[in-house]
Amino acid sequence: MTDRLELLPAVDVADGQAVRLVQGEAGSETGYGDPLAAALDWHAGGAEWIHLVDLDAAFGRGSNAGLLADVTQHLAGKGVKIELSGGIRDDASLARALGTGATRVNLGTAALEDPEWTARVIAEHGDQIAVGLDVRGTTLAARGWTQEGGDLWEVLERLDAAGCSRYVVTDVTKDGTLRGPNVDLLREVCARTDAPVVASGGVSSLEDLRVLRELVPVGVEGAIVGKALYAGAFTLPQALDVAGRP
C-alpha cells in the first residue's frame, strides 16, 4: 500500500480559456490563458494526472468539448492521465468524454438528478467513472453549484450501494480561496466509504499537502490543486516532493 498522495493540477476551462473561479461563482474568474499551454506546463512540471473541467458545460451555458478533447488527446499521448468533468450527464456526453482517451470522468449533476442512469453507467464503466461530491456544509451542489442537490450522506450511501469506485470531494466554500482544505469533511467522508477519495478545494500551501498526505492511510488518494499553482504559491515539482512521486 502506498503512502503517496496523487496530485492532480486543475485546468478549468471557460470560453476557451484556462480560468480559476472563487467558490465556483460565475464571473469571479481569473484567466490563465491557453488550456493546452497550461496542461503542458503541468506535464513539464511532472504531472501524472490533470483534472480537466469544462466549466461552461457544468454551468449549462456552452461547451468546450472539442478543445477538451484536443487537450486530453495531446496529454494522453504524453502519458498523462486525464480526469475529465463538466456536463457529463447522459449517454452521448459520457461516450464523447470517454472517447477522448480520458482515464476517468467525473459525474456531478447527473449523479444527483439521475440515480438510475448513474448506477447503470457505474456498472458498465467501473473505475472509469468517479462522482464529484461538491458540498456546502453537507448539502450537495448541482448545475454549476447553483442548485442544491441533496444530502451528502444519503447520496454517498446510494452511490456506494451502486458500486461507485471513487469520489472527488470539493468543499465549494473553500474552492479557489487559498484557505486550506476541509480536513474534517474529508475525514468524515473517508470514515463513511471504503472508496478512495480525491480531495478538492482550498489547497494553499505545501503544508496543506503534508496534511492531506497524512490522510492517505484513512482513504484520501489524491488532491486537486488549482489556484495555488497558478498563483505561484509553490511549484508543481515542490508539491510532488511533498506528495511523493509516482
Ligand X SMILES: O=C(O)c1ccccc1N[C@@H]1O[C@H](COP(=O)(O)O)[C@@H](O)[C@H]1O
The gap from C-alpha 124 to its chain's centroid, in whole angstroms, comes to: 21
Do 216 and 245 meet the contact criterion of CB atoms below 8 Å apart? no
Total of residues contacting ligand X (CB under 6 A): 24
> Which of 100/106 has CB closer to ligand X?
106
CA within 13 Å, CB half, 201: 21
Minimum distance, C-beta of residue 199 to ligand X, in the bound complex (Å):
12
Angle at 197 between CA 168 and CA 33, to 5 degrees: 40
Question: CA separation (Å) from 134 to 32, 105, 171, 234?
Answer: 23, 15, 6, 25
The gap from C-alpha 141 to its chain's centroid, in whole angstroms, comes to: 14
Window contacting ligand X (CB under 6 A); options: 38-46, 52-60, 121-129, 210-218: 52-60
Q: What are phi and psi of 119, to 5 degrees?
A: -60, -40
Catalytic residue among 56, 134, 171, 208: 134
Is residue 12 part of the annotated active site? The answer reads: yes
- Is residue 52 within the footprint of ligand X (CB under 6 A)? no
Site string for ligand X, 160-189 (x = CB under 6 A): ----------x----x--------------
Looking at 9, 35, 87, 222, which residue binds ligand X (CB under 6 A)? Answer: 87
Looking at 6, 8, 11, 12, which residue binds ligand X (CB under 6 A)? Answer: 12
> Which of 85/100 has CB closer to ligand X?
85
All three cell numbers of 81? 492521465
Quick count: other Cβ atoms within 10 Å of Cβ 191? 9
All three cell numbers of 227? 489556484
- Is residue 88 within the footprint of ligand X (CB under 6 A)? yes
All three cell numbers of 236? 508543481
Window contacting ligand X (CB under 6 A); options: 1-9, 62-70, 80-88, 203-211: 80-88
- Is residue 29 within the footprint of ligand X (CB under 6 A)? no
Q: What are phi and psi of 180, to 5 degrees?
A: 90, 150
Window contacting ligand X (CB under 6 A); options: 54-62, 68-76, 210-218, 229-237: 54-62
- Rg (alpha carbons) of the chain, rounded to whole number: 16
Site string for ligand X, 92-131 (x = CB under 6 A): --------------xxxxx---------------------
> Which of 40/130 has CB closer to ligand X?
130
Looking at 7, 50, 58, 239, which residue binds ligand X (CB under 6 A)? Answer: 58
Helix, strand or coil, per DSSP, at residue 194: coil
- Is residue 85 within the footprint of ligand X (CB under 6 A)? yes
The torsion angle over the Cα atoms of residues 12, 15, 19 and 25, rounded to 10 degrees, is -90
